[in-house]
Amino acid sequence: MSRTPVLLCAALALVAAAAWPGSAAAQRRRSVPARKAPARAPVPAPAPAPAPPPATPTPSPSGAPGSSTSSSGAPPATQPAAPPTALAESTVDVDALRQEYLALRDQLFRSRARAAAVASSLYSTKLRILLDYGSSRFYTVTRATIRLDGASIYDDAQGAIANDRAPRWDGFVAPGRHLVTIRIEAAGKDDQRFTTALESSFAVQAPAGKDLVVKCAAKDEGDIAYQWQRNEHGSYRLRLDVSIESASRPGGQGGGRRAKR
């Protein structure tokens, strides 16, 4: 009998015995605990890399702390600024400005001369207005005004018309008809409760190329300011006398004609 079948049968028997649950080999395998793998130690985190040191600027040849050089080692080329005096002389032409100033001044003088010529031909009559107040002993002039064609030409609140007879206005007007308005406000010296306001308007005719003189005299001959306290009786007597006279200028022809009102 050959050995091969015998050996095969023995191997099968051993395998069956080992696989059988009740066998001793199986019990030994169950009783032996499984080996645990050893725990690995935690890997430490890598340390941060140190920061690089700050770069130090390369000193310039001149030793200035803020200067730097180019890659080739030579400092950047800069052009020097022009001096202020040279710049001013190059941009401003003094002679041209002087010539322009002289031309403008000549134009201004010629314009003034033309304006004076036009004014002398248009406003060829010289008008003079005089105004005085003849009752300054009993009344105080608080305000006096003169208007010519609606425009105010004299306004005084110091009582000047009661102190002298000086001209109140002297100027040129166009020939023709003009309207003069005079207003005088006064208050009694003995009793300031009594006040007056005298206003009057009149027309004048200005001849061409002549002088026109208008003389006005105002007064109040009433006595109410001092008489009322005695017997409660008094009166107002307001008056405005106007005298108008034209006069030829030296070298002119003809005489003046006088008109009164």
For the chain, the structural domain boundaries read 87-120, 124-260
pLDDT tens per residue across span 92-112: 688 888 888 889 988 888 888
Token representation of residue 52: 């690089």
pLDDT tens per residue across span 196-234: 999 999 999 999 989 999 999 999 988 888 888 888 888
Task: Tell me what pLDDT residue 225 has.
Answer: 84
Contact 212, 128 (CB under 8 A): yes
Residues 6+ apart with CB under 8 A from 162: 132, 133, 136, 140, 141
Task: Tell me what pLDDT residue 68 has.
Answer: 46
Mean pLDDT of 140-152: 95
